[in-house]
Amino acid sequence: MQIIPAIDIIGGKCVRLTQGDYGQKKEYHDNPVEMAKRFEGVGIQRLHLVDLDGAKAKTIINKEVLRNIAKATSLKIDFGGGVQSDADIETAFHLGAFQVTGGSIAVKNPDLFDSWVEKYGGDRVILGADAKDKKIAISGWQETTGLDLIDFIKDYHAKGVSYVICTDVAKDGLLQGPSIDLYKEILEEISGIKLIASGGVSEIKDLEKLEAVGVFGVIVGKAYYEGRITLAQLAEFSK
């Protein structure tokens, strides 16, 4: 199982939001590059980098952060936030992203998302599937659609998508444990998908449970920044 630390950016600094609420922002570090180097230094290979300014502006804003982390480390960066057009995704890859995540765009403009999968490949374009009560949530989780989560993932997997980041909105940023049963159900229903669990991780036992379920990776954010999980513990999982 891959440990994938999250670095969320507002104004060039590392922050975390609670349940996607910009009003519940906490700043953790003013140098994302140093943070990324810290993760790489213990053997972690992947990074989940989110441009929260970009998500709001609907275009990439924190370009220099992406460029600088890509230059300073060999981390495989999965980049999201503000990727809304062909120009945006080209920019993200040009700046050094290894993968790009599309969430709301896969709901609002499926033809565009499909064209990205076709152009860049199902291994480079990640499907962001945020869910509330097993229904897809979009637009910073302010809007819940009528789309069934598992059907949504199935459809895109059939079109060639290999990686899916699934966030249970009800869990994100609350440190109350991940949605183990939900991930188990997805993996039982859809064979061959590389599922990345996101949201709710609060302690090292959560990582053990997720590994037992068989997810490809787990995104760790607040639990690390709040000191619930140490860098040494993450290093153990990354061996």
Task: Write the CATH number for 166.
Answer: 3.20.20.70
- Whether 130 is a known active-site residue: answer yes
- Residue 153, token pair as written in the block: 């993932």
pLDDT given at position 141: 54
Segment 67-76 mean pLDDT: 98
Domain of 152?
2-237
Q: Which residue has tokens 């992947």?
A: 46
User: What is the DSSP pairing of strand 135-138 with strand 143-148?
Assistant: antiparallel
Candidates 8, 78, 88, 206; catalytic one: 8
Answer yes or no: is pLDDT of 188 > 90.
Answer: yes
Q: What is the mean pLDDT of the chain?
A: 93
The number of residues making up the chain comes to 239
Give per-residue pLDDT as tens, 134-174: 999 886 555 678 899 999 999 999 999 999 999 988 766 56
Answer yes or no: is pLDDT of 100 > 70.
Answer: yes
CA distance 130 to 237: 25
pLDDT given at position 168: 86
pLDDT given at position 86: 98
CA distance 17 to 87: 27
Q: What percent of the chain has pLDDT over 90?
A: 79
Candidates 51, 53, 88, 130; catalytic one: 130
pLDDT given at position 132: 87
Domain count along the chain = 1
